[in-house]
Structure 1
Amino acid sequence: MPLLSGVECAKQRYAGYGLSQMLPFGRVLVGCDSSRAGAFGGFHHPDQGYRHLQMVAIITMQGPMELRSPESPALALLDLLRAYAHDCLHYGSRRRYVEVAGAPVRTQYGINYRRATGQSYSAADESGSRHTRNLGIIMEGACDREARLITRRTAALFGITEPADVLGALAFRDMTGTLTEEDSSRVVDIPESVERTRYAAALRDYETGVNRRYTHFLGEFAPGEEHECHTRLLTAIISGDTTTLGAWLDGRHGPGTFTGLFRAPDYFDPGLTA
């Protein structure tokens, strides 16, 4: 079965990054209906994603959600695999919490830090920027790079090919990491469905705002060593320890590279050693 084969592939790869336990299936909720007429589900559905406090992944069935079964079962399967493989890395990322006024506040997620007041270690990227210096984007891009690799390999192994329709083709390329530059800038208007048009726009925005920025970051700071940098990033995200990653970056760009790249000018915490 393609899904279980993909999950096993993910399990083996993630173990190499230090992930000892995959997200339990019992903590994965898959929605196949919506109160919105014409709702279109999938990885880019509004509010889909991992909930860190509840430790639950919220996933929607890819395609029209008023149908009892997926419009394209093969595409829906790949989308489910991509979402699950992605959220497993969120589930396994190092987290640290403190109590503030009786409520848990997350102060560390992977290699990103946040004060109890909400101030983040790294600043948001400028709107429209091709590069990134934001650790949230770096971690999201690293997780999705892995998830899409697993989905691409599974599609190839089981002979699942790109659909003929425009949105189906874009979704397939998105979930397998094969979107082109033209795809990334393409505006898709589907007059008969506002929901499908909105989904295509969300897909494009995620590609340019996350995956393209992460790819650009790897090429910028690890030219010719993109895989090695990606591996060290994911290992650090799972462990929460930036020591090895920091030393690797320092060896190529000089002392204090991690801090120089990512720490916002107005952020300082003597308790951090990153």
Structure 2
Amino acid sequence: MRADLSPVTGKHPAHVFRPLSDLLSGWEANGIDTTIFRAGVDIAGHRYAGYGLARMLPLERVLVGCASSRAGAFGGFHHPDQGYRHLQMVAVITLYGLMGRRIPEPPAPLVLLDLLRAYAHDCLHYGSRRRYVEVAGVPVRTQYGINYRRTSGQAYSAADKRGSHHTRNIGIVMEGACDKEARFITRQAAEHFAVTEPSDGLGALAFRDVTGTLTEADTGRMVDVPQCEEQTRYAAALLGYEKGVNRRYAHFLEEFAPGEEYECHTRLLAAIISGDVMKLGAWLDERHGPGTFPGLFRTPGYFEPCLTA
């Protein structure tokens, strides 16, 4: 399963995929500067070690869509059908921008920043505690970070209502925590190398997205790119993710850790890596009373006898 990666790239038959390790070495052999990305990975490694992550996602386990034969193909963090695949232990991502290009091509700073955000994000998914059981010869994941699922498919927490501004779904909280951290790292790299915001509308929006600086005005507008339908869809996916994940996570922190948002965020990440909710649960109980964690997230009818096993 982990040797044959064709199932995870098969949804993108027009795209050319290369391991991130090969892509970077190819760029560097051609004199292309990848310092922004490399420096960001160093920042991520130091921060993640503090949360208990002993090893970063190997670069050779990251498949990067870096070219495409499909007219108008547009890549980036919000490209459909990509992300970390836990059973195969591989991340599938695409380079930001139009993909009809030769390899290698010097990437713009925004391309490297988007690549850094995706890699930093997927490293946290890679490092999240997972537990599997075998059902009829098939591995079934019953724990991911601090989220749980029965072998029957019953999830620990219910999906949020459509259009909700807050969240009571632990999957959204975990996703938001991972992306908040990845965007913080990307913003640090952008500031250190004095990367400026692109002048084009979608580029400016993407820059604010990868650095976590989108405004309320950004999330309320529609972006139409007449010359490329895929770019319009990309912008819509970007704004949908911001409202559906990142804003909901921000509201969660404001709601349950006012004035202590960063402390709660770091405790969440440590719990996601270890898979142990006890310390986080005790911290929440001190502020909101006994049983806060299951009271917030556990859907009625779900029973988990041991959250720390």
What range is the shorter-chain TM-score in?
A: over 0.9
Deviations 1:171-200 (A, max 9, x none): 000000000001112110111110000000
2:39 alignment partner AA: S
Equivalent position SS for 1:33:
strand
| Alignment partners' CA distance in 1, 2:226 and 2:107 | 21
* Residue 67 (structure 1) shift: 1.7
Structure 2 partner of 1:212: 247
2:92 paired residue among 30, 35, 58: 58
Q: Which runs of 5+ in 2 are unaligned?
A: 1-34
Q: 1:48 to 1:174 in 2, by over 3 A?
A: same
Residue 48 (str. 1) matches residue 98 (str. 2): no
* Residue 267 (structure 1) shift: 1.1
Deviations 1:231-274 (A, max 9, x none): 10000000000000000000000000000000001212334469
Structure 2 partner of 1:37: 71
* Residue 72 (structure 1) shift: 5.7
- Matched residues, percent identical? 74
| Alignment partners' CA distance in 2, 1:8 and 1:254 | 39
2:235 paired residue among 190, 196, 200: 200
Equivalent position SS for 2:43:
helix
2:182 alignment partner AA: A
Q: 1:124 to 1:71 in 2, by over 3 A?
A: farther
Structure 2 partner of 1:80: 115
Structure 1 partner of 2:149: 114
- Written as runs of structure 1 = structure 2, the 5 A alignment for 1:229-268 is 229-268=264-303
* Residue 41 (structure 1) shift: 0.2
2:119 alignment partner AA: Y
Residue 188 (str. 1) matches residue 231 (str. 2): no
Conserved in 2, the CA contact under 8 Å of 1:141 and 1:211?
A: yes
1:10 paired residue among 12, 36, 44: 44
Aligned residues: 274
TM score, norm. by length of structure 2:
0.87
Equivalent position SS for 2:68:
coil
- Please identify, of 50-59 and 31-40, the stretch whose mean Cα deviation from structure 2 is larger: 31-40
Residue 132 (str. 1) matches residue 143 (str. 2): no
Structure 2 partner of 1:224: 259
Conserved in 1, the CA contact under 8 Å of 2:277 and 2:307?
A: no
Deviations 1:79-111 (A, max 9, x none): 000000000000000000000110000000000
| Alignment partners' CA distance in 2, 1:198 and 1:79 | 17
Structure 1 partner of 2:19: none
| Alignment partners' CA distance in 1, 2:120 and 2:250 | 19
Conserved in 2, the CA contact under 8 Å of 1:142 and 1:230?
A: yes
Task: Provide the aligned C-alpha RMSD in A.
Answer: 1.3
Q: 1:248 to 1:48 in 2, by over 3 A?
A: same
Q: 1:173 to 1:17 in 2, by over 3 A?
A: same
Q: 1:89 to 1:114 in 2, by over 3 A?
A: same
- Please identify, of 91-100 and 64-73, the stretch whose mean Cα deviation from structure 2 is larger: 64-73
Conserved in 1, the CA contact under 8 Å of 2:72 and 2:99?
A: yes
Q: 1:266 to 1:157 in 2, by over 3 A?
A: same
Conserved in 2, the CA contact under 8 Å of 1:40 and 1:65?
A: yes
Conserved in 2, the CA contact under 8 Å of 1:63 and 1:70?
A: no
* Residue 73 (structure 1) shift: 1.3
| Alignment partners' CA distance in 2, 1:166 and 1:54 | 36
1:249 alignment partner AA: L
